[in-house]
């Protein structure tokens, strides 16, 4: 790859919460940083809803915690609800740790907010350049760093940038492989106590409930874990 058109100390690839937070931190530490994001603007979709205590501690150091909290949802939106099926009533609820009340080890609490609310605050929390609509299309090692080929934002526009470090914050790919989140389908033989996340239906008491004929007992298929979609990054 030919020589570079410019130079920074750190190139951050990805304009989600991780990349934007890294840019803000590096900016505060006096590091010359450039963030590039292939999408033309911050995400307009809600996506993730939880900002945990440790993240809020970092945002507090950046002076952004109060603004993030002011635009967050009420804590009750962060409760976990347990049901046998989607149509049933809740048989248990639980609050996320550090959301409904402070934890003694921290001066802050976590918040329930969404990515479309969080990212604009993080973007405004630093003065280092952030270029949207720009994609990293090639990367080659060079003496003491790398040379990155950036494409966009205008069609056919290309820029070569030398950086000492590249921080990949563009998330996991959306095509396989991806992680899945299995859930156990609870039958009438599962107890309320065992029906939470990670419960094992194999420990259910054998036999149908009292008063239920054996011919109506749930089949073995009711106890197999089921997958309800996948979890991937940006």
Maximum mean pLDDT: which of 140-144, 159-163, 179-183, 228-232: 159-163
Cα distances from 35 to residues 24, 120, 138, 144, in angstroms, run 10, 14, 16, 20
State pLDDT tens for residues 52-85.
999 999 999 999 999 999 998 887 787 788 888 8
Q: How many whole angstroms separate alpha carbon 8 and alpha carbon 29?
A: 14
Least confident of 61-70, 152-161, 207-216: 207-216
Any idea of the CA torsion for 88, 89, 92, 96, to the nearest 10 degrees? 90
- Report DSSP state, residue 86: T
Maximum mean pLDDT: which of 79-93, 136-150, 203-217: 136-150
Task: Please indicate whether residue 172 or residue 126 has the higher confidence score (pLDDT).
Answer: 126
What's the confidence (pLDDT) of residue 49? 82
What's the confidence (pLDDT) of residue 63? 95
Least confident of 33-37, 86-90, 141-145, 217-221: 217-221
215 pLDDT higher than 60: no
């Amino acid at each position: 790859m030919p020589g570079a058109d410019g130079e920074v100390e750190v190139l951050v690839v990805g304009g989600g919460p991780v990349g934007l937070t890294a840019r803000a931190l590096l900016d505060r530490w006096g590091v010359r940083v450039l963030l590039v994001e292939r999408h033309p603007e911050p995400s307009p979709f809600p996506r993730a809803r939880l900002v945990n205590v440790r993240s809020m501690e970092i945002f507090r150091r950046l002076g952004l915690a109060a603004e993030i909290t002011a635009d967050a949802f009420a804590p009750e939106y962060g409760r976990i609800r347990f049901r046998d099926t989607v149509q049933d009533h809740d048989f248990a609820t639980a609050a996320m740790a550090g959301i409904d009340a402070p934890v003694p080890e921290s001066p802050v609490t976590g918040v329930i907010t969404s990515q479309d609310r969080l990212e604009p605050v993080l973007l405004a929390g630093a003065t280092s350049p952030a270029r949207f609509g720009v994609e990293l299309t090639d990367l080659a090692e060079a003496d003491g760093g790398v040379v990155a080929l950036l494409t966009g934002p205008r069609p056919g526009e290309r820029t070569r940038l030398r950086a000492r470090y590249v921080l990949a914050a563009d998330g996991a790919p959306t095509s396989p492989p991806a992680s899945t989140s299995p859930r156990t389908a609870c039958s009438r033989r599962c107890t309320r106590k065992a029906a939470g996340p990670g419960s094992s239906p194999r420990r259910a008491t054998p036999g149908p409930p009292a008063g239920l004929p054996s011919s109506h007992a749930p089949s073995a298929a009711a106890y197999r874990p089921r997958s309800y979609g996948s979890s991937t990054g940006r």
